[in-house]
Chain A
């Protein structure tokens, strides 16, 4: 009896884990599974710049609403020319990429950043031609 109920408890836990995992893809940062397919463009003011591990991010103020823009890992972001010196807080910036599948979430993954008249393709192979 004990053995069976323990096995059941484990099974329920495993199922719960998979259910949790399956219900969450819209929130995933890694890869592109959490983003829309079509390109999305965001224009606003730089509120914060993070160039570091595990991946670089920008916070962009769009008419008072803060967006989190995910970039590539730091090595790839810097290789694209986008360093902390490329933009300053308060600069006007355009991010082109894919936004979260969750319309309530102000989050996108950028393939291209345009700031101070310069274009940075952080994901060159995904950037629009």
Chain B
């Protein structure tokens, strides 16, 4: 039963400590905001670069740096997010904004893999040419998906 699993999570010692804490919870919360701030910013900058913006910057170096930052930020967001979820797992699991967010994240991650697959040939070649139409399509989709994830996340607290 899912309800049993959520009750078990909520009863774990570190989770109970976080639930009661005066300092730790707001700090984890702030770390989550920092992670998603870096993630969304780096994703937007990468997508804009692929879509033809920021063309004065060398694409290869820029994307390599942004991608590394985005992966670190994503890991941070998952860890801090799981901690925030754990204190009221059962409640969040019934929150429509949370559920939509959890559905959108795998779609956004799959879209990232689709981009990497489609862009392989183009990335290996020169960055001076515009990327193919379907590569730009995945970049535009990425932009919309991650912004939607951000919005859903914010709405968890208001539903």
Measured CB to CB, the residues of A under 8 A from B are 2-3, 6, 9-10, 13, 17, 20, 24, 27-30, 34, 50-54, 74-75
Contacts and interface: CB of A to CB of B under 8 A. Distances in A.
A75 B157 contact: no
Given A20-B151, A29-B158, 7 more contacts: A2-B136, A20-B155, A30-B157, A52-B88, A53-B18, A53-B25, A53-B87
Chain B interface, DSSP helix/strand/loop, else mixed:
helix
A41 B87 CA distance: 29
B81 to A, nearest CB: 14
Interface in B100-148: 136, 140, 143-144, 147
Interface residues of B, number: 21
Interface of B: 18-22, 25, 29, 51-52, 87-88, 136, 140, 143-144, 147, 151, 155, 157-159
A16 B75 CA distance: 29
Contact of A29 (B22, B25, B29, B157): B157
